[in-house]
Each structure stands twice: as structure tokens, then as C-alpha cells.
Amino acid sequence: MFEKLQRLGKAFMIPIAVLPIAGIMLGVGAAFTNPLMVETYGLTKILGQGTFLYYVLTVMSNLGSAVFNNLPLIFAVGIAGGLALQEKGAAALSAAISFIVMHTVISVILGFQGYTPETTSVDYFMSQGLSALEATKQSNVFGYELGIFTVKIGVLGGIIVGVIVSILTNRYYDKKLPDSLSFFSGVRFVPIISVLTVALVGAIIPFIWPTVHLGISTFSEFFGRTGGIGMFFYGSLMRLLNIFGLHHAIYPLFWYTPLGGELEVAGKLIQGGQNIFFAQLADPNTVRFSAEATKYFTGGFLPMMFGLPAAALAMYRVADDKNKKAVGSLLFSAALTSFLTGITEPIEFTFLFVAPVLYGIHAVLEGLSYAILYVLDVAVGVTFSRGIIDFTLFGLLQGNAKTNYIWILILGIPTALIYYYVFKILIVKLDLKTPGRGDSEEVKLYTRKDTLLKEVDVSKVIEALGGKENLEEVDACITRLRVTVSDVSKVADSDVWTKELKAKGVFKKGNGVQIVYGALAEILKNEINKQL
């Protein structure tokens, strides 16, 4: 299972590569085109509608949104291609088609059940006698994916599709059909079996997911009633649900409905934590922002601005020396995205599946951050997420008297130190394969394919492995060629590998063989699979 999680972590790195720049564009663009922010700071002439910067920032925001709004599809394609051992292109295409088919099937069945965009709106549910909160909970189950009306299953849907398609690709990429259907044999069979299988999954989801989604929403209601303890569980659960994008089942209820509190501002009754904050921001008579309203998002500033960047530094410091240059650029961009915009997916997915224990600790630390900042009466608002941009706009520039932001700065360094040393110690003690360590597969360090292949004769490598007929599966990580053979006794001895085939070492266990080739491992894998 751990091996499979590591492979899944490697597959996640493919789509993750595009997230840092998309996150920065989205965070910067969204923050500086927010109408209330522009009006509050008197920047209408510079950033208001119709200005050159407004157009530029709007384009940036939309480009970033295009990536994050389609993360489920991106992960479906990336995971399928990443986990497929053969015919990766066919797997990726099959995943894209299957993802669309799954949500189309869900949409059709929702229609059979009487659910349409009109009958799932908040106004419709309220017209049926539900309260504003209950109507929002019901409506929040449904949404759109690629323009298709469906249920909000989020990234989890993409992961499900990606994993299913990769399994089917590995099993059926060489499937032989009867002569009358021979055209559909082999790789052409992959999209067929994928679509049929995922369509069946799509037919089941509408009967299960609404109950799961509503269960999560209902369970979350106790958070606001239990003070600091509730905030701890809120912060931790939000971080755990964020893995699959399921945090969307919770936070809107606190940001935009009476569940997040009610407060009279400038003579109007405002409901929802973020709504209250922005109403107070617009009210010149506001002396202090309500910490009761902001408690559902302020807690994220410590881990996003200080904790995760420190964790990235820890992962860089424990990476193998030969890999640090390559892994440094990945971790730096992910850390910068978290610090600048508060978008954490790029850095979290670098260790989520290769070292899930670290993610669990991260969730606990985030829960503590929510609890502590709530107890200390900190009230810093957010537009999109909790990076330095929002902290500056809605903390620093508002003044400590209004926000009590000073505690975020005071606790920032201790938070960074805790993340740094906890991550560093656990990675070393547990030998966790974070980027750049040992067999970690997340960072590719080579570019000179032709030059490297001159060092080793691929045909001789196959011969040393017992010949083509002895090979069952050929894979590789960043340093090792990983092969499953039918008969391990046919594999050449260590001397052949180290003296004749220029390997650094060879390890055998059961029917598994690992040959250490450094940067050449991945290239050898591809060349061997071509010959097979």
C-alpha cells in the first residue's frame, strides 16, 4: 500500500507542476481586482474598471482560475498518465473522456431524480419551506463541472477516474479481441473499457454523494458552538478535506450563511463570517472587526505564511545533495505560492502521498492555529486565501487596534520553527521519501538522454535481466531501474552489473530486482519498454 501511495504521489507531481504559477496569478489577480478592496483604499483610478491594470489583473485572475476550476479534470488526466505503466498517452486521453462521461451520466440521473439548476437553487429550497442555512446546505451539493450540471465531488472525482483508468490501462493495453473485433484490440480497447467502467461509477454517485456531502455539512455545525476546541477541529478537518476539495462542503456555510454568525453593521443585519467582515470594512464607524466572524478563516495565516514555507525548507535541507538544485526550484516556487497567495496545494501534494504522516501533523498544527488565534481575538479578513497579500490588505493596513494582527507576526516564527523541525526530524527518522530523497521520484534531474544512453547498451541490460521473456514489469524511480521478473535466478550477478553494465549496485528481493543507475534509470526504463 505504501508503495502504491508513493506511485500516486509521483503521478500527482505531473499536474502539480502547473499549480504554483497559476496560484500566484489567481491570488494576485483576485486580490487586486476585488471591488471593495479597490474602493476601500482609494485605488479606483489605478485599479478600477476600465484601467489598464484592471484588464491585466483580470486576465491573470481568470488564467489562474482556469487551472484551479478544472483541477478535477487535470488530476484525472495526470494520475491516469502517471500511473499507467504502458501507453500513457492513451491512458490520459481515456481519463479525459471518462471524466466527461462520468459527470454526464451523473447529470442525466440527477435529471431523472428531478434535480435541475432551477430546482437546486437556494431560492427554490427556501420556497419549499427550508431556512436560509438548510437551503444553502442543500444547494451546495450541486454545481457544474466543465459546464455540466452535476454534484460537487471535486478533486475526489478526478482521482477516482484517474486511478480506475490507470488500472484498466495496465490490464488491457495489450488485450486481444476476436478477429471480427480486432480493430478494437490493444490500446484501442482502453478508452472503451474505461468509459464503460467509469459510466457505471457515475451512475452510482448521485445516489451516494448527496448524503455524504450533507453529512459533512451537518457534522460541521457544532464547530461554531464550541469555542477554541471547535476551532481546532474545524481547522484540522478543513485541511484534511482539502485533499479532495471537499472543504467546499463546509466553509461556505460559515462564510456566507447565519451559521457563521449574525451582526448588525451600519444598520443592516449581516449574516456569514466573510460578509460581516467586508460589511465592517466598508463601514467607516468600525472600531474593531469581529473575531467571532473571522474565526473561520484567520487561523490559516500561520500555516500558509510561515508553516508550509518552513516545511518546504526542511524538505530541501534533507534532500540528497545531488538532487538539491533540482528539488530546490520545485519547493521554492511552491513555498512562494503559499506565502504570497495562501494557495497550498502545490506544496501539500509534494508530500501528501509520499509521506502522509506529515500531512496528518500539518492538519493538527493548522487546527491549533485556528484555536490559538481565535482565543487571542485576532480578526484579519481574507478575499481569496491567507497569504501575505490578504494579510497586508486586511491586517497591516487596517491597524492592530482593529485586527490584533500582531499575534500573527509574533507566532509566525515559532510556527515556522515547529514545522521545520517536526518535518526535518520525521523525514530523517522515518526515512520518508520526500522530493529529492533516495528513491523519491518527484524530481527529474536529467536532460541529456542521448549522451547518457551511450554509457549503457540497452540490449545487454535486457539480456542481463534474463531476456525479454523473463520481464514482467519494468519501471523506474529517480535513481533505480525497478524490474519484476519471472525467474530471478536468470538475472545476472552483481559483478556483471557493476563491471560490465556500469550500474552502481543491484538488489534482489523475491521476484523484484532494483538496479541503481542514477539519472539513467528512467531513460533505461523507457528504452526497455520500447523494445518490449
What is the Cα–Cα distance from 77 to 146, expressed in whole angstroms? 14
Instruction: Looking at the structure, tell me whether residues 197 and 287 fall in a common domain.
Output: no
pTM of the model: 0.61
Question: 12 falls in which pLDDT band (50, 70, 90)?
Answer: low
In-domain check, residue 17: no
Q: Which residues share a beta bridge with 8?
A: none
**At 175, is the secondary structure helix, strand, or coil?**
coil
40 in a structural domain? no
Identify the band that residue 226 occupies on the pLDDT scale cut at 50, 70 and 90: confident
Q: Band of the pLDDT at 246, cuts 50, 70, 90? A: low
Both 349 and 464 in one domain: the answer is no
Question: Is 39 among the domain residues?
Answer: no
Give residue 102's pLDDT.
97
Crossing angle, helix 155-172 and helix 71-83, to 10 degrees? 20
- The last residue of one of the domains, among 172, 192, 212, is 212
CA-based angle 361:365:366, to the nearest 5? 115
In a shared domain, residues 425 and 278: yes
416 inside domain: yes
Number of domains in the chain: 3
> Is residue 204 located within the same domain as residue 173?
yes
**Three-state secondary structure call for residue 476:** strand
Residue 220 lies in a domain: no
Closest CA to 252 of 133, 148, 351: 133
Residues 271 and 417 in one domain: yes
Q: Is 505 inside any structural domain?
A: yes
d(CA 1, CA 528): 26
155: Cβ–Cβ under 8 A, 6 or more apart, which residues? 71, 72, 75, 243, 244, 245
**Is residue 248 within 8 Å of residue 152, measured between CB atoms?**
yes
Residues tagged active-site: 477
In Å, what is the CA distance from 331 to each residue of 336, 365, 429, 441, 485?
A: 8, 20, 21, 14, 36
Residue with the larger pLDDT of the pair 432 and 439:
432
* pLDDT higher at 290 or 507: 290
Ranges 27-36, 111-120, 173-182, 260-269, most confident: 111-120
For residues 420 and 453, membership in a common domain is answered with no
Whether 352 and 453 map to the same domain: the answer is no
* Size (the chain), residues: 532
Average pLDDT, the chain: 85
Considering the domain architecture, whether residues 458 and 414 belong to the same structural domain is answered as: no
Q: Is residue 31 in a domain?
A: no
The top-scoring range by mean pLDDT among 96-105, 214-223, 292-301, 445-454 is 96-105
Using 50, 70 and 90 to split pLDDT, how confident is the model at 7? low
What is the CATH number for 479? 3.30.1360.60
In this model, does residue 257 exceed pLDDT 80? Answer: no
For 76-123, the pLDDT digits (tens) are 998 898 888 878 889 999 999 999 999 999 999 999 999 999 999 999
pLDDT recorded at residue 449: 45
What is the residue range of 357's domain? 262-429
> Which set of grid coordinates corresponds to residue 191?
478508452
Residue 242 has pLDDT above 90, yes or no: no
> Which residue, 429, 459, 492, sits at the end of a domain?
429
Does residue 201 register a pLDDT over 70?
yes
Same domain, 483 and 395: no
Segment 48-79, tens digit of pLDDT:
888 999 999 999 888 888 887 888 898 899 88
Q: Which of 371, 395, 429 is the last residue before a domain boundary?
A: 429
Dump pLDDT digits (tens) for 305-319. 999 999 999 999 999
Q: What is the per-residue pLDDT for 86?
A: 79
Residue 448's pLDDT band (cuts 50, 70, 90)? very low
Residue pair 330/442 in contact by the 8 Å Cβ criterion: yes
Highest-scoring range by mean pLDDT, 132-146, 245-259, 415-429, 436-450: 415-429
Query: Do 347 and 398 belong to one domain?
Result: yes
Do 175 and 269 lie in one domain? The reply is no
Phi-psi region of 374 (alpha: psi -120 to 50; beta: other; left: phi over 0): alpha
Query: Residue 266 pLDDT > 70, yes or no?
Result: yes
CA distance 319 to 246: 32
Residue at 114 is within a domain: yes
Task: Provide the pLDDT for residue 4.
Answer: 60
For residues 326 and 457, membership in a common domain is answered with: no
